[in-house]
Amino acid sequence: MTRRLWSDFVSKLEPYVPGEQPRVDNLVKLNTNENPYGPSPQVGEAITAELGAELRLYPPPNADRLKQAIADYHKVNIQQVFVGNGSDEVLAHAFNGLFRHGKPLLFPDITYSFYPVYCGLYEIEGRKVPLTDSFEIAVEDYCVPNGGIIFPNPNAPTGRLLALDQIASLLKNNRDSVVCVDEAYIDFGGDSAIALVEEFDNLLVIQTLSKSRSLAGLRLGFAIGHPQLIEALERIKNSFNSYPVSRLAIAGGVAAFADEAYFQQTCEAVISSREALVAALEKLGFEVIPSAANFALARHPNYSGEYLMTALRERNIIVRHFGAARIEQFLRITVGTPQQIDLLLTALTEIIN
């Protein structure tokens, strides 16, 4: 059989390739920006309480309990909240529902590599706007006709943060486009653009519970924005899957937002480890892009990114290397525990000397 039964566009898709999830013992896994600390113990308790006979019942289709917890936490109204099966699903619906306008969608040349994949899936023209030489977003470069703007803040894989006043300026200059700020890493060192949703009806902020809440394995993401933007996402969701968020994910997500002390403590531990990692990498001669995220993008003047990645891999340490233009010399290193960082630094010292 050929692919004769495929819809035409399927052959043209270039699917996203996620970082590996190898099943190797004692692996130092610093390749997919997971949180080195587990989720709040309250999450496990809440999920355990949700097990049993209720699992036979469909979840509440609107996941209202989770939406309310997020709304309360971020001091917005429940009509300003959308939840999904990981922020990737939320992003997909945003592309489909808010970015298909026959004009190009703008995003940085160096950014989350899923964006061009969504463009392929929804037949949107994506236009890459180059970052500055120092890998920064220059908002004035986005003052061109567009069907939407999206970028992560902090950006990935650079880690660089864009200040809120710059985002406000971007929103002001693009009132007829949805500006989507993808804040997967915001809790590790930035101010959320959620502060701007009351002022700008064209702003959609997307966050995930995979990073700062340490729930990558549970699959939860959400969006906050004007109710009319949220309604577009709801219409797509209700035309795609009535119940994208499981009973266990609802219970676990609510518990994650309830345990503020644990959240603060683990975020601070990650931030403090990042600062230590960056200082140590610089001491080894690496150039490190200033990061507000739970990873650092770094290159060494004498060793290629690919070489270092491979040499680390031989020592059972995995980091992420992108073959893409401008960053092919870099490694993206997730901030692990202090122990994992020690192992990484020891290995790098060995490789470099």
Selected from 6, 165, 268, 324, the binder of a second copy by CB under 8 A is: 6
- The residue (of 299 and 332) whose beta carbon lies closer to a second copy is 332
The burial of 279, by beta-carbon neighbours within 10 Å (0-12 exposed, 13-18 middle, 19 or more buried), is given as exposed
Cis peptide before 244 (omega within 30 of 0): no
The pair of structure tokens assigned to 26 is 């004692």
Alpha-carbon distance 145 to 105, whole Å? Answer: 9
Alpha-carbon distance 46 to 195, whole Å? Answer: 30
Is the separation of the CB atoms in 185 and 156 below 8 Å? yes
Shortest Å, Cβ 263 to a second copy: 13
- The residue (of 100 and 128) whose beta carbon lies closer to a second copy is 100
Site string for a second copy, 36-75 (x = CB under 8 A): xxxx---xx--xx--xxxxxxxxxxx--------------
Cα three-residue angle 206-95-60, rounded to 5 degrees:
60
* Distances in whole angstroms, Cα of residue 87 to Cα of each of 21, 83, 92, 159, 209: 18, 8, 8, 18, 8
Question: In the range 92-111, which residues lie near a second copy by CB under 8 A?
Answer: 92, 96-101
Of 17-25, 257-265, 283-291, 316-324, the segment contacting a second copy by CB under 8 A is 17-25
**How many residues lie near a second copy (CB under 8 A)?**
91
Shortest Å, Cβ 251 to a second copy: 10
Shortest Å, Cβ 293 to a second copy: 16
Shortest Å, Cβ 117 to a second copy: 5
- The residue (of 54 and 282) whose beta carbon lies closer to a second copy is 54
Is the separation of the CB atoms in 275 and 258 below 8 Å? no
Cα three-residue angle 125-127-186, rounded to 5 degrees:
110
- The residues with which 179 forms a beta bridge, in sequence order, are 149, 203
Of 5-13, 127-135, 282-290, 338-346, the segment contacting a second copy by CB under 8 A is 5-13
Shortest Å, Cβ 249 to a second copy: 7
Is the separation of the CB atoms in 203 and 181 below 8 Å? yes
Site string for a second copy, 249-288 (x = CB under 8 A): x--x------------------------------------
Question: In the range 186-245, which residues lie near a second copy by CB under 8 A?
Answer: 201-202, 210, 214-219, 226, 228-229, 232, 234-245
- The residue (of 20 and 191) whose beta carbon lies closer to a second copy is 20
Is the separation of the CB atoms in 189 and 165 below 8 Å? no
- The residue (of 49 and 163) whose beta carbon lies closer to a second copy is 49
- The residue (of 151 and 286) whose beta carbon lies closer to a second copy is 151
Of 70-78, 134-142, 247-255, 280-288, the segment contacting a second copy by CB under 8 A is 247-255
Shortest Å, Cβ 286 to a second copy: 26
Residue 63 Ramachandran class (φ > 0 left, ψ -120 to 50 alpha, else beta): left
Is the separation of the CB atoms in 94 and 231 below 8 Å? no
The amino acid sitting at 332 is: R
Regarding 13 and contact with a second copy (CB under 8 A), the answer is: yes
Is the separation of the CB atoms in 161 and 154 below 8 Å? yes
H-state helical runs in 129-191: 164-172
Shortest Å, Cβ 187 to a second copy: 14
- The residues with which 107 forms a beta bridge, in sequence order, are 128
Q: Is 50 helix (H, G, I), strand (E, B) or coil?
A: helix
- The residue (of 62 and 192) whose beta carbon lies closer to a second copy is 62
Shortest Å, Cβ 128 to a second copy: 18
Question: In the range 119-148, which residues lie near a second copy by CB under 8 A?
Answer: 120-121
